Structure 1
Amino acid sequence: MKKNSIYLVLLLLASLTTILSGCNFLENKVGEMKSALKGREAIIQTYDEESNIIDRIEARSIDIGPEDMFSTIDSQGNKIKNSGVLSITVGGKPMMHVGSSLILAEKDLHNIFEEFAKTINIKNLDRSTPFLNRLVNSMSNMTTGKNLLILIRSQSGKPLATYVGNQVSYFATDVDKSTGILIDGKYLFIYRCDYSIYDVSLLQEQ
């Protein structure tokens, strides 16, 4: 193969890699625009430090973003720190939230932790078996065929939600202490939570 042909192949491979890696980024941006225009069909839940649900809101049109009046602005008018206060629109009606852990899950995202909690006494976990391994073993029918598992914890470190998916990407948001995650094309918004992302096969091997 001629040198020019090799360079062309390498260039095409590099371009394809860039395009593929940017697909989820583009999908996330498109989702943000759709959310701003008509909202997402989703569920919002807030949690205390013990991972107990404080409130739950389900609606066909939810949009979530920063309340910009609480952003930190320098003397030149540039934003130097994002707002940590959430501005939420639910069916066209306003709502604000700050402080406690919050998760927005788009329709069809299934929190397998809620099923796990119905059958396992969370407060009396056997310390000889790691929590995640018990969850994966107990919910094997839900994790089969999935590549990645997202474990979300409260601000005090107690598990409160778990999602699985084949394609998972995470993104910065305009809200302080928050992350946006795409799970198989569905949007998950996490505010003031700890989280870890694991390969499911790694947990099944333990």
Structure 2
Amino acid sequence: MQEQRKLGSRTIVFLILVLGLSLLLGGCALVADFGSNLRQQWAGLPLTLATYDDQAQKIDQVRGTSLAITRDRQFDEINSDGKQNKQSKVMKITVGSHLMRHVGSSLIAYQDGLTNVLDQHPQKVQAINKKRNVPFVNRFVHAVKDDFSGSSYVILIRSQTGQPIATFAGNRVRVSKTDVPSSTNLLIDGKRLFVYRCDYTIYEKAMLD
């Protein structure tokens, strides 16, 4: 009986430790995400920003050592009571002391330290695939497997018509909302990725091995 109680106590202690560790790790990711957002709004982040058409062709690319993205609130719709009726879809992008605005086409912005693997291997993409559907991910990862070695997750980003435009990899991935409609913040191994008007899928790399 005493042995069973000891076993039960150990199980409870073990479960408490596991729960505590999960909360700690989740909290760390949350803190890192919050810190990244704070740095972006106050000091900007070193980001590469690119926009794409429906066929996943790159329209333009901008790089800044101090780049920040927010919703342009002057385009919010306000009703007669002075309350916000509809959020603006226009983005205000500051690049150092310069200003950009963007709305409409697919856009990604990724922090220095992240690599868009798809951007670096366009010839291999064209060579291994004609129809860029789900099996494309598996074929692409194997074609450039060195770029994904040691990674736990693969993030595939697609245009609004489903054409792949970017692929990233990392061991820790956190997804969070932004104040810009149709956009998502991702934190990949502590580095910021901002996605606007794109489809995306996050795969465990083990699924593609």
Q: Which of 70, 94, 97 in structure 1 is aligned with 2:99? A: 94
Q: Which residue of 2 aligns with 1:136?
A: 141
The TM-score, its normalising length taken from structure 2, stands at: 0.86
* Residues 9 and 143 (structure 1), Cα distance of their counterparts in 2 relative to 1, 3 Å cut: closer
Q: Which residue of 1 aligns with 2:177?
A: 172
Q: Which residue of 2 aligns with 1:111?
A: 116
Q: Which of 181, 184, 208 in structure 2 is aligned with 1:203? A: 208
Does residue 84 of structure 1 match 2:89?
yes
Q: Return the offset for 1:85.
A: 0.8
Q: Which residue of 1 aligns with 2:3?
A: none
Q: Which of 123, 130, 134 in structure 2 is aligned with 1:125? A: 130
Q: Which residue of 2 aligns with 1:22?
A: 27
Q: Which residue of 2 aligns with 1:40?
A: 45
Q: Return the offset for 1:78.
A: 4.6
Question: Does the residue aligned with 2:33 lie in a helix, a strand or coil?
Answer: helix
Q: Return the offset for 1:162.
A: 0.3
* Residues 2 and 150 (structure 1), Cα distance of their counterparts in 2 relative to 1, 3 Å cut: closer
Does residue 145 of structure 1 match 2:150?
yes
Instruction: Please give the alpha-carbon distance, in whole angstroms, between the structure 1 residues aligned to 2:91 and 2:134.
Output: 38
Structure 1: gaps of 5 or more residues:
none
Q: Return the offset for 1:84.
A: 1.3
Q: CA RMSD in A?
A: 2.7
Question: Does the residue aligned with 1:83 lie in a helix, a strand or coil?
Answer: coil
The TM-score, its normalising length taken from structure 1, stands at: 0.87
Residue identity over aligned pairs, in percent, reads 37
Paired letter, 1:131: F
Instruction: Please give the alpha-carbon distance, in whole angstroms, between the structure 2 residues aligned to 1:68 and 1:9.
Output: 49
Number of equivalenced pairs: 204
Bigger mean CA offset, 9-18 vs 194-203: 9-18
Q: Return the offset for 1:83.
A: 2.3
